[in-house]
Amino acid sequence: MSENINTWLSQINNDYKAALSVDCVIFGYTDADLYVGTIKCNMPPYEGLPSLVGDLVRPDENSDQAVNRIIIEKTGFKNLYFEQVHTFTNIDRHPLGRVVSIAYFSLIKLDEYQRAESSNTKELNWINLNENFILAFDHNQILEKCITQLRDQIKDRPVGFNLLPKKFTINQLQELYEVILQIKLDKRNFRRKLLSLGILSDIKEFQTEVSHRPAKYYSFNKQLYDKRKSDGFLF
């Protein structure tokens, strides 16, 4: 930091301060498509446009806590996985003054969201990422960065596992990869690869009430993952 405490104390006042906000890119996915959850912006000059879900970070919380709060508020999900992506600091990014925004992404299975959607959760508008659309503020830019990051991450980190229910089938995992990366994967190769990583636990459960051969459920084994990570690499 600066060499002099006094410099600090004086600078830290007034216009050296900024409002701190977080913006969440909440991805929602179905069998076929990837969406982003938005709300309607009511601030000129962006009135009426969709915007990402965000809020100011309160004085008594850090940004992760703020994100957690917002996600619970908007989706009702209490332990959703999320990651910090990038911080946007352009001086004119917000009409009301200097607002710095820390961008996060998260991901949710859309039919679970709809099933869970309860009395008190505010409704999100889901926009299909295959369409073109304009968001308020610099939110298109934020969204782009988050999409890129999500795609990069999923290729060499088990982000996908954090994003699925505790138990899932290999095919569900594959669908998630396909939707995120927008490519078609080979069933056999995908299964072989993922199982060979040795980070999935066979929990000896099967689907029920499906009108076809029931699939085996697996869960993500974090211990094995951490162990393997400390040895060498992964994926």
Q: Name the residues that contact DNA, by CB under 7 A.
A: 169-171, 186-189, 191-193, 206, 208-216
Write out the residues near a copy of itself by the rule CB under 8 A: 1-5, 8-9, 11-12, 15-21, 39, 41-43, 51, 54-64, 84, 86-87, 89-91, 96-100, 102, 136-137
Q: Cβ neighbours of residue 72 under 8 Å, at least 6 residues apart?
A: 78
Nearer to a copy of itself, 151 or 166 (CB): 151
Q: Quote the CA–CA distance of 128 and 143 in Å, as a whole number.
A: 12
Interacting partner of 216 out of DNA, a copy of itself, none (Cβ under 5 to 8 A depending on kind) = DNA
Interacting partner of 212 out of DNA, a copy of itself, none (Cβ under 5 to 8 A depending on kind) = DNA
Pairing outcome for strands 34-40 and 125-128: antiparallel
Q: Quote the CA–CA distance of 167 and 169 in Å, as a whole number.
A: 7
Interacting partner of 191 out of DNA, a copy of itself, none (Cβ under 5 to 8 A depending on kind) = DNA
Any idea what DSSP says for residue 16?
Answer: G
Nearer to DNA, 17 or 193 (CB): 193
Interacting partner of 228 out of DNA, a copy of itself, none (Cβ under 5 to 8 A depending on kind) = none
Residues in the chain: 235
Peptide bond into 45 cis (omega under 30): yes
Nearer to a copy of itself, 67 or 194 (CB): 67
Q: Which ranges of 76-186 would DSSP assign to H, the alpha helix? A: 110-116, 139-156, 159-163, 170-181
Least distance (Å) from DNA to the CB of residue 182?
15
Task: Give the HSE-up count for residue 154: Cα atoms under 13 Å, Cβ half-sphere.
Answer: 25
Nearer to DNA, 9 or 210 (CB): 210
